[in-house]
C-alpha cells in the first residue's frame, strides 16, 4: 500500500487514534477560523484539488453542532407554527465554506473536508486559492478559476459540498426536478 492509502485507512476510524483526541483538545483552544501551514488530511486535500505550492491556502474552521435556535414568540398569543429549533437548508460544511470566504474576500474557495468533531463542535478544513498569484495563473489544472463565471462560486453553491446538499450528485430517473435547481422546477399552482 502507498502512503495515501494508509492515510485513508487511518481516517476511516479516526476515534481509535490517540493523535486525533489530542488534536481535538488543541482545536478547542483555537479561534473559529485558523490559517494553517499544511492540510491535516493530505490524501483528502489532494483528492479535492490541493497542491503544495504557492497560491494555495488551507484554513481550519469550526461550527457549533445542532440546529438554529429561534427565539420564542412571547407576544400574547400562541402561533400555530411555534418552533424554536429550525434545521438549516444548507449543510454545516457549506455554511463553513461561506464563512471562510467572507473572512478571506481576496481568495476563492476550492473545496473543503471534515477533520473532526466532539460533543459541541465540528471542524472542517477549507482549501482556498489566490487567483492573482502567478503560480496559480500558470497552472493548467487550477487556472480555470480565473474565468469570470467562477467568481464567488461558494455563494452560488458550486463547491462539491454545496452540490451534494443541493442534490446534484443524483442523475437520471428520479432526479428530473433537481436540475438546474429545485426552486426553478417548482410546479405552478392551478
Helix, strand, or coil (residue 40): coil
Compute how many other C-beta atoms are within 10 angstroms of the C-beta atom of residue 173.
Answer: 6
Could you say which architecture CATH assigns to the domain 3-150? 3-Layer(aba) Sandwich (3.40)
How large is the average pLDDT for residues 142-166? 92
Q: Is the pLDDT of residue 189 over 60?
A: no
Q: Is the pLDDT of residue 176 over 60?
A: yes
Q: Which of 148, 155, 21, 167 is nearest to 95 (CA)?
A: 155
How large is the average pLDDT for residues 10-24? 89
Q: What's the confidence (pLDDT) of residue 133? A: 95
The x, y and z cell numbers of residue 37, run together, are 501551514
Q: So where are the chain's domains?
A: 3-150
Taking only the tens place, the pLDDT of each residue in 79-99 is: 887 888 888 888 999 999 999
- Share the mean pLDDT of the chain: 90
Gyration radius (Cα) of the chain, Å: 20
Identify the band that residue 187 occupies on the pLDDT scale cut at 50, 70 and 90: low
Write the burial class of residue 34 (CB in 10 Å: 0-12 exposed, 13-18 middle, 19+ buried): middle
**CA dihedral for 25, 7, 45, 37, sign (positive or negative):** positive
Taking only the tens place, the pLDDT of each residue in 18-33 is: 899 999 999 999 999 9
Amino acid at each position: 500500500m502507498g502512503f495515501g492509502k494508509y492515510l485513508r485507512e487511518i481516517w476511516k476510524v479516526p476515534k481509535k487514534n490517540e493523535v486525533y483526541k489530542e488534536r481535538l483538545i488543541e482545536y478547542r483552544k483555537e479561534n473559529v477560523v485558523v490559517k494553517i501551514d499544511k492540510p491535516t488530511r493530505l490524501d483528502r486535500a489532494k483528492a479535492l484539488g490541493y497542491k503544495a505550492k504557492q497560491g494555495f491556502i488551507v484554513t481550519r474552521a469550526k461550527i457549533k453542532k445542532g440546529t438554529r435556535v429561534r427565539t420564542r414568540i412571547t407576544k400574547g398569543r400562541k402561533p400555530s407554527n411555534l418552533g424554536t429549533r429550525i434545521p438549516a437548508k444548507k449543510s454545516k460544511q457549506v455554511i463553513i465554506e461561506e464563512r471562510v470566504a467572507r473572512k478571506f474576500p481576496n481568495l476563492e474557495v476550492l473545496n473543503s473536508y471534515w477533520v473532526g468533531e466532539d460533543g459541541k463542535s465540528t471542524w472542517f478544513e477549507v482549501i482556498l486559492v489566490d487567483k492573482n498569484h502567478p503560480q496559480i495563473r500558470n497552472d493548467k489544472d487550477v487556472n480555470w478559476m480565473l474565468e469570470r463565471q467562477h467568481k464567488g462560486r461558494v455563494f452560488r453553491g458550486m463547491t462539491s459540498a454545496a452540490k451534494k446538499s443541493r442534490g446534484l450528485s443524483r442523475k437520471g430517473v428520479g432526479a428530473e426536478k433537481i436540475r438546474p435547481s429545485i426552486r426553478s422546477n417548482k410546479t405552478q399552482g392551478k
